[in-house]
Amino acid sequence: MAAKTKPAPKATPAKLPAVDLKTRKLIVALADEVAAAAERRRDLWLDIPTRSLSNVRFNKARKIVEMGGQKNRRQLFNLSQAKSYMQTLLVATGCKQLIEQQKTTSIRGLYYLLKHTIEGTREETFATQEECDPIIEDLEVTLESLREELHVYASNRGGMVGPITLIDSGDEIDCSRMGSGGYSIPSIVEADIIKFKSCDAKFILHVEKDTVWRRFNEDKFWRKHSCLLTHGGGQPPRGVRRMLYRLHHELKLPIYCLLDNDPWGYYIYSVLKQGSINLAYESKRMAIPEAKFLGLRSRDYERCKLNPSVQIALADSDVKRAKQIAAYPWFAGKKAWQKEIATMLSNGFKLEVEALISKDISYVTETYAPERLAEADWLD
């Protein structure tokens, strides 16, 4: 590895956007460190920040989850780590290539771009995509860069409708004229790709699932209440979280969340509000501490006089997960949230937002959500 090789042609920096110049510089710096160590015939290693609960802390002042300073050393001359070490550099090389070519690819596409049999062996660079995905995340956290800044995206899973006009890769998109399907929120929503041209919305209502979103869209809730209506197809992907973050911070739009009354709904809210453990290093660009939990609430079963048939019995895993969430530092000190979770456990059942349909097909859009918004009846 000490032998010098002819450097690959470099892209002209002036041709790259500022964000790409920054990311490319980080990758080159990583490679330079490896090359310098090899030329000095020293052990080659990378320090990868630890992505686990033990290396996460809650910043009470900023009200977000942040990553700690723990790191795992990945060494080339350690037989158990050599492959993952080389895979990390291979992924970095692939991302640098994408940046310089000004192209993007999916996680799946990057896997195939880098997958090959190593010359002179029967060894594959990656056996499966499941082997490649964690390496991408390792590179993100090492460079402190979003996956999207590495020109890698995930599949679209999320939608938006309402009075806002966007410029998406040069194309003007009026999100109030997107029909029943709405605007599909892409994985990459950074300012160099998505620009906000005009917006007449007063707030954002984020719902958990496409089925509920479609009811709100069909009933034109967004038009009656001058809001943006978004969904994340369950756990919102990073593109949706980044879009909500940008809409909230750049356009100053309040965000209200309508999610299922179960541990999963609570967790989705937690991720939107404080950030996720796995992506703690990016909470500063994703978490929205001011987001509010509109519902579904544990008390809504009685308050809305719902039919007993909509109850879904809590499994042991639900009870365990609810107690874990109640112990999160950002929920532990909040009496309202402790009462909310305790009531669900006392009820012995969970509820989906769709349960409100048992009252009337449009009860959630015409009664439930408008009343909760008018009364400012939400959890923080």
**What's the rounded mean pLDDT across residues 268-286?**
81
Q: Which of 282, 288, 243 is nearest to 142 (CA)?
A: 282
At which residue do the structure tokens 């923080």 appear?
380
pLDDT of residue 42: 80
pLDDT in tens, 134-169: 888 888 888 888 888 888 887 778 899 999 999 998
pLDDT of residue 12: 46
Active-site hit among 85, 111, 112, 153: 112
Q: Which residue has the higher pLDDT, 268 or 43?
A: 268
Report the half-sphere exposure of 317 (CA within 13 A, side-chain side).
1
The string of pLDDT tens digits covering residues 189-205 is: 888 889 999 999 999 99
**Mean pLDDT of the region 30-40:** 85
Tell me what the mean pLDDT of segment 355-372 comes to: 92
250 vs 7, which has greater pLDDT? 250
CATH dotted code for 159-374: 3.40.1360.10
pLDDT at 349: 94
Spatial separation of the C-alpha atoms in residues 137 and 50, rounded to whole Å = 11
Q: Six-digit token pair at 253?
A: 């739009």
pLDDT of residue 207: 94
8 Å CB contact between 267 and 328: no
Checking if the pLDDT of 67 tops 90, the result is no
Mark residue 30 as left, alpha or beta (left: phi above 0; alpha: psi -120 to 50; beta: remaining). alpha
112 is catalytic: yes
Q: Which CATH number fits domain 13-42+79-153: 1.10.10.10, 1.10.150.120, 3.40.50.1970, 1.10.1740.10?
A: 1.10.10.10
Radius of gyration of the chain from Cα atoms? Answer: 23
User: Which pTM was predicted?
Assistant: 0.80
CA dist 320 and 110 (Å) reads: 37
Angle between helices 238-251 and 263-274 (to 10 degrees): 50
- pLDDT by residue (tens digit) across 105-135? 988 889 988 988 888 888 889 889 888 988 8
What number is the average pLDDT over the span 292-313? 92
* 323 pLDDT above the threshold of 80: yes
Higher pLDDT, 229 or 65: 229
At 178, the pLDDT band (50, 70, 90 cuts) reads confident
Q: What is the pLDDT of residue 95?
A: 92
Q: Is the pLDDT of residue 6 over 50?
A: no
Cβ density class 73-85: b for 16+ within 10 Å, e for less: ebebeeeebeebb
Average pLDDT, the chain: 87
CB–CB of 222/216 below 8 Å?
yes
Q: What is the DSSP letter of 367?
A: I
Do 280 and 56 form a contact (C-beta atoms < 8 A)? yes
Confidence of residue 215 (pLDDT cuts 50, 70, 90): very high
Tell me the per-residue pLDDT of 226-257, one tens digit each, with 9 for 90 and over: 999 999 988 888 889 999 999 999 999 999 99
Residues 6+ apart with CB under 8 A from 246: 189, 191, 194, 196
Helices (H), the chain: 18-39, 82-101, 107-114, 129-143, 210-218, 221-224, 238-251, 263-274, 300-303, 316-326, 329-332, 335-347, 363, 369-374
Residue 14 pLDDT: 53
Sequence ranges of the domains in the chain: 13-42+79-153, 159-374
Non-local (6+) Cβ contacts of 115 within 8 A are 124, 125, 126, 132
Q: Is 108 exposed, middle or buried (0-12, 13-18, 19+ CB in 10 A)?
A: middle
Contact 115, 126 (CB under 8 A): yes
